Amino acid sequence: MVSRVIPVEVFDLVIFGGTGDLARRKILPGLYRRYLAGQMPEGARIIGCARAELDDAGFRAIAGQAVTEFVDERKRDPVVLGRFLESLHYVPIDATGDGGWNRLRGLVRKDVVTAFYFSVAPGLFGALAERLHKHGIATAESRIVVEKPFGRDLATARELNAVLASHFAERQIYRIDHYLGKETVQNLMAVRFANLLFEPLWNHQYVDHVQITVAETVGVGGRGAYYDKSGAMRDMVQNHMMQLLCLIAMEPPYRFDPDAVRDEKLKVIKALRPVPPENIVRGQYRGKPRNGGPAEPAYSVDAENPDSLTESYIALKVEVANWRWMGTPFYLRTGKKLRARTSEIAIVFKEPPHSIFGDGQGWRENVLAIRLQPNEGMNLSVMIKEPGPGGMRLTEVPLDMSFAEALGPEGADIPDAYERLIMDVIRGNQTLFMRGDEVEAAWAWADPIISGWESRGDKPKGYDPGSSGPEDALMLLHRDGRRWREIRE
C-alpha cells in the first residue's frame, strides 16, 4: 500500500514558545518528519518566538537537538535536517511587551498561509491575540492554534473564548486536542460511517456498554505542583475522554465537514446526564514500591501537598440521555501509576438473546476494542467453534487489525498526532479541532461534578502503584453485573 503525501500550501508558521518543552518534544520534530515526508513545500517557513535572546542560528541549534533527541534514528537524515533547519527563523518577543513585533511583521508574509501557534501558558493567549492585531501581523485569513488547558472551568473557558473572539473569528481558531489527531480516532469515524456493518448495531439495543480507558504508568513527578491544581477530571476527562466519547456516541454527520461533525459532537455533550456521587470513584496513588521495585513517593509527596484532595485517578459512569444510548452506560477511567500504559475504547456488545449451544460454553461478549496506544489498531473479538473433534465447543478469537501489520511499513509509520494536526491547520481544516461552544458545553457538564466533590470535601481513595486503581472502581461495574477490561499493553 502506497501512502499519499499531498504537499500543503506555502506557509509561515510562527511558534510562540518555540523553545519550550512542547515545541522541542512534539512540534519541531513533527514538522521535521513532515518535511522529510515531502509534505512541507519549498519556501515554507517556521518562525520561533520566545523571550530568550537568540538568533536564527541559536534557534536552529535548539531545533536540531530536538530532532536528534525525539525523532527515530532511522528518520534522521543529516542532509534533510540541514535543509529543514534553513527554513527556521527566530525573533525574540515577550508576549506581554511591545518589542520585536515590528521585526516579526517584516518577516511574516501576507501572500501565504499564516498560522500562529500559541505554545505558551494559557495566561498569555490574550496578550498574543491582542498584539498580533495591534501590530498588523495577523490578517482575517490567519489561523491561531491554542494549546490545552482551555480554561479550568466554564467561567475561565468563556473568558478565554471571549478574549480570542475579540481578535479572531471562530473559523480562525484551532483548539488542539491531540487525541483527535490520532490515526485510530479518525479511523473510528471511518469504521462507523464508511461501513454498513457496525452502524445498525451501534445503539442501546445491541451495545451493552462502552469502556474508555486512558491508563498511564508514570506519576505526576516533576509537574506535581501544577497537576495538583487540575487533577484527572480536568486534565483528561473534560477534554480528551469527552472527545472520544463524542466520536463514539454521535449521530452520523450529514457530511465529513468541520461544523457538521462538531454540531453532532456538541449534541452528545448536551445530552450527558449529571453524574451523581455514587457513579464517581476518585483515587490517589499511595507511596509503595511497585512489584518489589524501589520505593516510590506517594501522590501527596509528588504534588508537594500533604493535604491534597486532588485525584490522580478517576472512574465515572456516564449516561447519554438520548434515544440511541439510553440504558447503555459509558464507563470512563483514567489514572496515573497504573499497571500498564494503554488507551483503549471498548464497545461491548450484548449477548445473543438465547444460546442454542447451551450454557457452560465459556461464553464471552463480542467486543470491538479500539487501541489508541500503544500499537494503534482495532480488534473485534468473535466466538467461533473450537477446532477439532471435541464437539460444538465455543472459543473466542480476535479479528485483529493492527495498523502496523495490516498496512505494512506505512501502517507502522503513522504520523504523530501533532504533525497531522499542524498540517490540518495549514490546510484550513478544523474538523479535528474543538469549537468554542463544544469546550464550554464540556465544562458546563464537568463543573457541577467537580464542585460537588469539592463542596462535600470528598477524599480520594488510595490505590497502589502498578494496580488497576482503587477497589471501589471495580465495584462501579460489579454492581451493574459487569467488569472492567484488563489494563494491559
**Residue 336 CB neighbour total at 10 angstroms:** 26
Residue 146: is it exposed, middle or buried by C-beta count within 10 angstroms (0-12/13-18/19+)?
buried
For ligand NAP, give the closer residue by CB, 81 or 93. Answer: 93
For ligand NAP, give the closer residue by CB, 120 or 318. Answer: 120
Least distance CB 52 / ligand NAP (angstroms): 4
Q: Hey, what's the torsion of the CAs at 242, 245, 251, 255, to 10 degrees?
A: 70
Kindly give the pairing relationship between strand 461-463 and strand 280-285: parallel
For ligand NAP, give the closer residue by CB, 149 or 452. Answer: 149
Applying CB under 6 A, which part among 121-129, 186-194, 228-236, 354-362 lies near ligand NAP? Answer: 121-129
Specify whether 240 is catalytic.
yes
Q: Check binding of 19 to ligand NAP (CB under 6 A).
A: yes
Least distance CB 186 / ligand NAP (angstroms): 20
Least distance CB 428 / ligand NAP (angstroms): 22
The count of chain residues that interact with ligand NAP, using the rule CB under 6 A, is 23
**Closest CB to ligand NAP belongs to which residue?**
20
**Residue 395 CB neighbour total at 10 angstroms:** 12
CA distances 97 to 50, 162, 271, Å, are 11, 21, 44
Least distance CB 64 / ligand NAP (angstroms): 16
Choose among 210, 205, 216, 206: nearest CA to 244.
Answer: 210
Which member of 3, 5, 21, 326 binds ligand NAP (CB under 6 A)?
Answer: 21
Applying CB under 6 A, which part among 50-58, 234-242, 413-421, 446-454 lies near ligand NAP? Answer: 50-58
* Three-state SS at 432: coil
Least distance CB 311 / ligand NAP (angstroms): 19
The answer to whether 92 and 52 are in contact (CB under 8 A) is yes
Q: Check binding of 87 to ligand NAP (CB under 6 A).
A: no
Catalytic residue among 89, 167, 178, 240: 240
Q: Check binding of 145 to ligand NAP (CB under 6 A).
A: no
Applying CB under 6 A, which part among 15-23, 267-275, 357-365, 405-413 lies near ligand NAP? Answer: 15-23
CA distance 300 to 285: 9
* DSSP state, residue 4: P
First to last CA, the chain: 27
For ligand NAP, give the closer residue by CB, 240 or 265. Answer: 240
Q: Do you know the residue count of the chain?
A: 489
Q: Check binding of 426 to ligand NAP (CB under 6 A).
A: no
**Residue 141 CB neighbour total at 10 angstroms:** 12
For ligand NAP, give the closer residue by CB, 221 or 276. Answer: 221
Q: Check binding of 96 to ligand NAP (CB under 6 A).
A: yes
CA distance 29 to 70: 6
- Could you tell me the three cell numbers for 246? 463524542
* DSSP state, residue 120: S
Least distance CB 400 / ligand NAP (angstroms): 31
Which member of 14, 28, 50, 145 binds ligand NAP (CB under 6 A)?
Answer: 50
For ligand NAP, give the closer residue by CB, 120 or 369. Answer: 120
- Could you tell me the three cell numbers for 54? 537568540
Strand order across the 280-285 sheet: 394-402, 377-385, 367-373, 342-349, 207-215, 330-335, 313-318, 280-285, 461-463
Q: Check binding of 100 to ligand NAP (CB under 6 A).
A: no
Q: Check binding of 22 to ligand NAP (CB under 6 A).
A: yes
Residues that bind ligand NAP (CB under 6 A): 16-23, 50-52, 93-96, 119-122, 124, 147-149
Residues that are catalytic = 240
